[in-house]
Amino acid sequence: MELPWSEIAAFAAALAVAGVVAGFLAGVFGIGGGAILVPVFYQVFVLLDIDESVRVHLAVGTSLAVIVPTSLRSFQAHYRRGAVDMAVLRSFVVSVPAGVVLGSLVAASVSGAGLRAIFAAIAFAVGLRLLLNRESWQLGSELPANPLRGAIGLVIGFLSTLMGIGGGVLNNTFMTLYGRPMHQAVATSAGVGVLISIPGLFGYMWAGWGDPALPIASTGFINWIAVIIIIPVTLIVAPLGASVAHALSRRQLEIGFGLFLLVVSARFVWSLF
């Protein structure tokens, strides 16, 4: 990483801008910002010439580290508005973290290309579903009870950990497919992000522990330079995003979220070639 200070400053500025966008999106969509942080981090690590074998893992792990305070801040903002379904959140307290542990174990062995493909496929499927959404596209009027809900929580935690996101992408889809309002799904997803990001942080530290290809200031697959730059910005901006979310209609949220996911998916597919 022997780069001129001017280039390092430029990378830091790019990360700060990404933090503004990620924090805003965390509040608007309840996604913790990971869906944008992962591709941004990946691109910055490419420019820094970080080893390909750890590049995407480092992007995913660092994203989860940033999501910890971002999700807490976003959850707090939505909770104060009374929008969070605490019953759903409590039902995920065991199953979602269990999925995170499983995802961390898989991340320790899967390739970087594999992680990018997973990210792109899930983002595309969910984004397309949101854009083409119809009121009739529902699996039921009530959320399933345990053990099915627990199994769904496990899958949400598992896939979100592999994607480096806070669970909003998947939890929003799950709740709206069972007739829950988009605003409630978004608010509850902020809480799911807390359940994913905290164990995910430690999981990715363990998964990459001692890897000789890691850059300076990294603990496992967490790079603390990126974390320190991004966190203050996202904490400031997340409440603004939550305010915007409550000013928009359900369909506006769905279209915005869907378009965003398709763009992110296309970016990762491009990176595979």
Instruction: Express each pLDDT in 83-93 by its tens digit.
Output: 888 999 999 99
Q: What is the pLDDT of residue 94?
A: 95
- By CB atoms closer than 10 A (0-12, 13-18, 19+), residue 131 is middle
Band (220; pLDDT cuts 50, 70, 90): very high
Rounded Cα gap, residues 48 and 59, in angstroms: 13
pLDDT at residue 32 in the model: 56
In this predicted structure, what is the pLDDT of residue 155? 95
Rg (CA), the chain: 17
Is residue 181 classed exposed, middle or buried when 0-12, 13-18 and 19+ CB atoms within 10 A define those classes? middle
Mean pLDDT of the chain: 83
Quick one: average pLDDT of 72-87? Answer: 87
| Highest-confidence segment of 11-20, 37-46, 66-75 | 66-75
Q: What average pLDDT does this structure show over 248-263? A: 78
Report the distance separating Cα 68 and Cα 198, nearest Å: 6
pTM: 0.80
CA 249 to chain centre: 23
Per-residue pLDDT, averaged over 59-83, amounts to 87
- Most confident residue range from 16-30, 59-73, 156-170, 189-203: 189-203
Q: How does residue 4 score in pLDDT terms, banded at 50, 70 and 90?
A: low
Residues 25-59: pLDDT tens digits?
A: 767 765 656 777 887 788 778 877 888 889 889 99
Q: Which of 47-56, 68-77, 209-218, 233-242 has the lowest mean pLDDT?
A: 233-242
pLDDT at 31: 61
For 106-145, how does the pLDDT look when each residue is reduced to its tens digit (9 = 90+)? 988 888 888 888 888 888 987 887 788 766 667 777 888 8
